[in-house]
Structure 1
Amino acid sequence: MTPVLTGFDYRRVPVADGVSLNVAVGGTGSPVVLLHGFPQTHLMWRHVAADLASEHTVICPDLRGYGASDKPAEADSATYSKRTMAADIVALARALGHERFALAGHDRGALVAFRTALDHPRAVTHLASLDVLPTLDMWDAMHGTSAAVGFHLYLMAQPPGLPEQMIAGAPDAFFGYFLDIWANDPDAVPADVRAAYLDACRAAVPSIVADYRASAGIDVEHDQADRDAGNRLTMPVTVLQQDWGAALGFDAAALWRAWATDLRHSTVTSGHFMAEEAPSEIATAIRDLLAR
């Protein structure tokens, strides 16, 4: 049986033509939307969501192309652009009765959250980003042999065909590799949750690749346009990251300060899957953000 968020109600919510998202909703109070990363689903928030639901309405969707949400074919570069996925999230919140909401994202979900806050600043009251750089800065930061840690970014940036075929040839080995190397605490992702992640990824290879391909093309264009226009995040922003900036030779906090006028940037000691490895710390950080 696939794990679920205990005490949360599940529903499918239409957000665009032919696209509905699988979403878990629980708790009462001001809304907080939590967006998952790769290679995960909304289940990555299971501890944090339960914690925050004592004070907030917590909304945990599977992103377009992931988990049990719809996976439209990649018609063009916009299908899985972060702008399109951000519009999904705003439509989801509105369908659930929320014109304004706080937003936290991890990894791929953090890129969607970043774009949502830039494109829909009146909708996003607070923004939390977990262990990622904005797309434009990420590509600028990756260089030399240190960029080998992001080999998957370059693989999935290739034109349609080869990356999908290669990954589909051994999906559990590919996606499981990241679950293994990115976790400091292997027990943070129990066997049933790991199996659910792998099942979901195995069924979503084309859409996951399309998501990453967009980040090497149209998402960069959108970020560059905002940078050229001087657009910035004006809501309170919290960024939590591992200290990989030092290893890759850049100042992550400085990169984020260029985007956010009200920023708190902190490093954490957990691995990449910090919402599963250090859930109390992450829930506290989100509460502190919401108090600003």
Structure 2
Amino acid sequence: MFFEGFSLVTQDVQGVRYRFRSGGTAPDAIFLLHGRPETHVMWHRVGPLLARYYTVICPDLHPERSPEQQVNDLLTLATITGHDKFVIVGQDYGAHLGYLTAATAPDRVQALVLMEALPAATHEGRDDMAFSLAQYNSCWFAQLHPKPESHTIPVPAEWLEKPLPAESVFAPEAVADYLSASIWQHARTVTWAAACHPIRCPVLVLWAASGRIGGWYDPVRRWCDVTSAPTEGHAINGLHFLAEEAPGDVETAISLFLEHCIPE
């Protein structure tokens, strides 16, 4: 069943309509922040697993707003839903937003899980031409017109196949939501700056074993450059969309990590 046990809610937050799913009844809360080009629905497999032990809230982000505005929105949403303290798990864009939230409100964010992301402040300037061209889209942009325009799409190609391939890791309901949602249509171009305050909560870093980030860098070491908090991490089998490629492994990694982070 899709997002079993979760309710779909729309809530006004500082004049902005936030759509999110909520499940679980435990006192400890986890906010799951999605990446690009997905929506909160990317957590439809991981969320119910975590909801056995935590209250899980999965909001759609508002990338047309500045990161600072979104941080304030998330903190307000946490207050509205009755959570003074909470954990954040974020994928790529959501990881950067989670990191900024933890730096902004260190008294509220208990732990941070960062998936498929590198700290932008220290990554800037490290991404040489070889790294950039390793991206599917970029290798086409390196060719003469009209190759870039005719071979680049903003979503994985299989999302556009009708029907979705039987071997796809993506659920049809999820892909339908990704393609119908317009949250990325007016997304702002963001340069993620270094956080103004150090991260004080424990940090878990997860990356795809067959992806680019772990192949080019030591992700844990990179995050250690920008936080003085205990930081650990490991690879998970997958290419990038870990919550859908390996939901059980993701949930296990998060749960084991949080067992030592959140006091009874």
Same fold (TM over 0.5): yes
- TM-score normalized with structure 2 length: 0.82
Taking a change above 3 Å as real, the CA distance of residues 5 and 252 of structure 1, as seen in their structure-2 partners, is same
Taking a change above 3 Å as real, the CA distance of residues 176 and 124 of structure 1, as seen in their structure-2 partners, is same
CA distance in 1, matches of 2:199, 2:159: 31
Indicate the structure with greater helix content.
1
1:174 matched to 2:142: no
Taking a change above 3 Å as real, the CA distance of residues 113 and 178 of structure 1, as seen in their structure-2 partners, is farther
How many aligned residue pairs are there?
241
RMSD of the alignment, in Å? Answer: 2.7
Measure how far apart 1:124 and its partner are: 0.3
CA contact (8 A) 2:111 2:202 kept: yes
Q: Deviations over 1:2-27 (max 9, x none)?
A: x96232112222222x2121011111
Q: Name the % identity.
A: 28
Partner SS state of residue 125, structure 2 = helix
Partner SS state of residue 254, structure 1 = helix
CA contact (8 A) 2:116 2:213 kept: no
Measure how far apart 1:38 and its partner are: 0.9
The residue that corresponds to 1:24 in the other structure is: 21
1:234 matched to 2:200: yes
Runs of 5+ unmatched residues, structure 2 = 139-148, 161-165
CA contact (8 A) 2:214 2:235 kept: no
- The correspondence for 1:190, drawn from 167, 171, 178, is 171
Q: Which amino acid aligns with 1:198?
A: L
Q: Which amino acid aligns with 2:180?
A: D
Which shifted more, 137-146 or 102-111? 137-146
1:105 matched to 2:90: yes
The residue that corresponds to 2:70 in the other structure is: 85
Taking a change above 3 Å as real, the CA distance of residues 92 and 4 of structure 1, as seen in their structure-2 partners, is farther
Runs of 5+ unmatched residues, structure 1 = 66-73, 154-168
Measure how far apart 1:142 and its partner are: 1.1
CA distance in 1, matches of 2:247, 2:58: 15
Measure how far apart 1:246 and its partner are: 5.5
- 1:96-135 counterparts in 2 under 5 A? 96-135=81-120
CA contact (8 A) 2:6 2:21 kept: yes
Measure how far apart 1:271 and its partner are: 1.6
- TM-score normalized with structure 1 length: 0.74
CA contact (8 A) 1:64 1:85 kept: yes
The residue that corresponds to 1:255 in the other structure is: 222
Q: Which amino acid aligns with 2:174?
A: V
1:286 matched to 2:254: yes
CA distance in 1, matches of 2:159, 2:134: 14
Which shifted more, 103-112 or 132-141? 132-141
- The correspondence for 1:64, drawn from 48, 62, 65, is 62
CA contact (8 A) 1:106 1:131 kept: yes
Partner SS state of residue 233, structure 1 = coil
Measure how far apart 1:245 and its partner are: 4.0
CA distance in 2, matches of 1:9, 1:147: 40
CA contact (8 A) 1:25 1:59 kept: yes
- The correspondence for 1:207, drawn from 186, 210, 233, is 186
Measure how far apart 1:146 and its partner are: 2.0
